Amino acid sequence: MDTKQAAQELQGNTHLVWKEKSRREVFTCRIFSIWESTCRSPDDELKVYTVLDAPDWAIVVPVIATPMGLEFVMVRQWRHGAQELSLEFPGGVFEKGEDPQAAAARELREETAYAAGTISSLGVCSPNPAIMANRVHFFLAEDLQPLERQDLDEDEYVEVELVPVKEVFQGMGRPPYIHALMGSALALYAQQYS
């Protein structure tokens, strides 16, 4: 029995659990794969569901004290799905075998040219548990120290911006704050620090 099933049994919800019988990969690319999962329902019926699988992600909420007050270190970048610019917390996918905290620290350094003196977990969520198999790990980065330069991937075009915390709270859900996972990161930050 895996950890998820054990947790569900402890909650007394085993009558809702579906059991996967088989899976078949139907598509794969550089950043994700799609597979069909054949599952047995609680009523003992077999059904097929499509699941997107990808590496886990890290999202970092970097906070820095400036003469203007507390500000977030954010990145502005183009998002192909939305076909628009998005202002976001830095983050990205784990490298194979990478520890979540190490992934968060690496993404922060690469995208923003800041290193965190302290980095702590804010929580872990499923980005879209209906169709996605991966997890997103949220971290708070404090005691930031500037580095010489960003270390972007060859297809990354990112501008770093310091944005007042209040402005991000007021703007979330409206352009350029369009990325839903940034809302989750902001909520976890608020849960910890409001």
Q: What is the pLDDT of residues 23-41, one digit of tens each?
A: 999 999 999 999 999 999 9
Q: 177 lies in which domain range?
A: 57-193
pLDDT of residue 1 exceeding 80, the answer is: no
Query: What is the token pair recorded at 104?
Result: 């968060």
Cis? peptide before 176, omega within 30° of 0 = yes
Q: Do 27 and 87 share a domain, yes or no?
A: no
Q: Do 37 and 65 share a domain, yes or no?
A: no
Q: Do 98 and 151 share a domain, yes or no?
A: yes
Strands 114-125 and 57-66: unpaired
Residue, of 2 and 52, whose pLDDT is higher: 52
The closest of 16, 187, 194 to 89, measured between CA atoms, is: 187
Domain count, the chain: 2
Q: Do 92 and 10 share a domain, yes or no?
A: no
Q: Do 33 and 128 share a domain, yes or no?
A: no
Tell whether pTM > 0.85. yes
Q: Do 67 and 41 share a domain, yes or no?
A: no
